[in-house]
């Protein structure tokens, strides 16, 4: 995959579909840079929380966001030069992030940053609107999905690895609520791009998903050469 023009690859899908782990592994296999769009939103949420600002669009929020510098360096996330990689993964920041992503001020800040990072190619973007809003002209677009039950099981296992014991029913209810929010919000709702390659990961291993994606990327490259 190293020869020829370096592509822009997007991976969208609902919570728990396996996007994050697959995107990281796919980027490594391609030798591309991973752009974790969700981490960028979390970083802004951390900054807004630290500043004590309400999660509502207004002059104060826009003024604050204009001065915030968010950078990605591998798996590390920096806000104004401070590594906040661990601090942005708390339940409180997750909840605040969900509210902030519905605001135009936040989208206006993050989307241009993501587009600049993707401009030179050789990137894998992972999120919910990367193939529809951020990079609608991406070379290859994927949409990963899985059953609600499987997504809840995966999220419960992920939380368990972090030492957080959560009831499966509660996790499933939380993911369902997030699905409703993501698909019905006015700004950049979660949806499949018309030209996205849909992969149902419910019964697939991560390696099977990655191999399928690599095959599709190779096929797309051969048809365009």
Per-domain residue ranges of the chain = 8-220
Say whether pLDDT at 212 is over 70. yes
pLDDT in tens, 92-119: 898 899 889 989 999 999 999 999 999 9
pLDDT in tens, 35-61: 999 999 999 999 999 999 999 999 999
Phi-psi region of 101 (alpha: psi -120 to 50; beta: other; left: phi over 0): alpha
Domain spanning 8-220, CATH architecture: 3-Layer(aba) Sandwich (3.40)
Say whether pLDDT at 1 is over 50. no
pLDDT in tens, 140-162: 999 999 999 999 999 899 888 88
**pLDDT tier, 2 (very low <50, low <70, confident <90, very high otherwise):** very low
Number of C-beta neighbours around residue 209 at 10 A: 23
Look up residue 35 and give its two tokens: 């752009």
Non-local (6+) Cβ contacts of 195 within 8 A are 141
Q: Is 122 exposed, middle or buried (0-12, 13-18, 19+ CB in 10 A)?
A: middle
H-only helix segments in 52-202: 59-67, 91-100, 104-118, 148-161, 168-184
**pLDDT tier, 187 (very low <50, low <70, confident <90, very high otherwise):** confident
Rounded to 10 degrees, what is the CA torsion of 59, 63, 64, 70? 130
Q: What are phi and psi of 143, to 5 degrees?
A: -130, 110
Non-local (6+) Cβ contacts of 85 within 8 A are 39, 75, 76, 77
Q: What pLDDT score does 225 carry? A: 56
**Rounded CA separation 151/84 (Å):** 27
Whether this model's pTM surpasses 0.85: yes
């Amino acid at each position: 995959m190293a020869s020829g023009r370096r592509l822009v690859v997007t991976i969208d899908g609902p919570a728990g579909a396996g996007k994050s782990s697959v995107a990281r592994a796919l980027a490594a296999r391609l030798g591309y840079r991973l752009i974790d769009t969700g981490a960028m939103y979390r970083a802004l949420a951390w900054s807004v929380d630290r500043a004590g600002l309400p999660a509502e669009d207004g002059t104060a929020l826009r003024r604050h966001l204009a001065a915030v510098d968010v950078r990605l360096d591998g798996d590390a996330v920096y806000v104004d030069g401070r590594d906040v990689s661990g601090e942005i993964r708390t339940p409180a920041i997750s909840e605040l992030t969900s509210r902030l992503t519905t605001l135009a001020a936040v989208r206006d800040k993050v989307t241009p940053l993501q587009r600049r990072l993707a401009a030179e190619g050789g990137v894998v973007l992972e999120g919910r609107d990367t193939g529809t809003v951020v990079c609608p002209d991406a070379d290859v677009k994927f949409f990963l999905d899985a059953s609600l039950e499987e997504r809840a099981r995966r999220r419960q296992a992920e939380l368990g690895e972090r030492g957080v014991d959560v009831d499966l029913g509660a996790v499933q209810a939380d993911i369902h609520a997030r699905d409703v929010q993501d698909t019905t919000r006015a700004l950049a709702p979660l949806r499949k791009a018309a030209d996205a390659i849909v992969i149902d990961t419910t019964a697939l291993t991560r390696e099977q998903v990655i191999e399928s994606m690599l095959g599709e990327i190779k096929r797309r490259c051969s048809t365009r050469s």
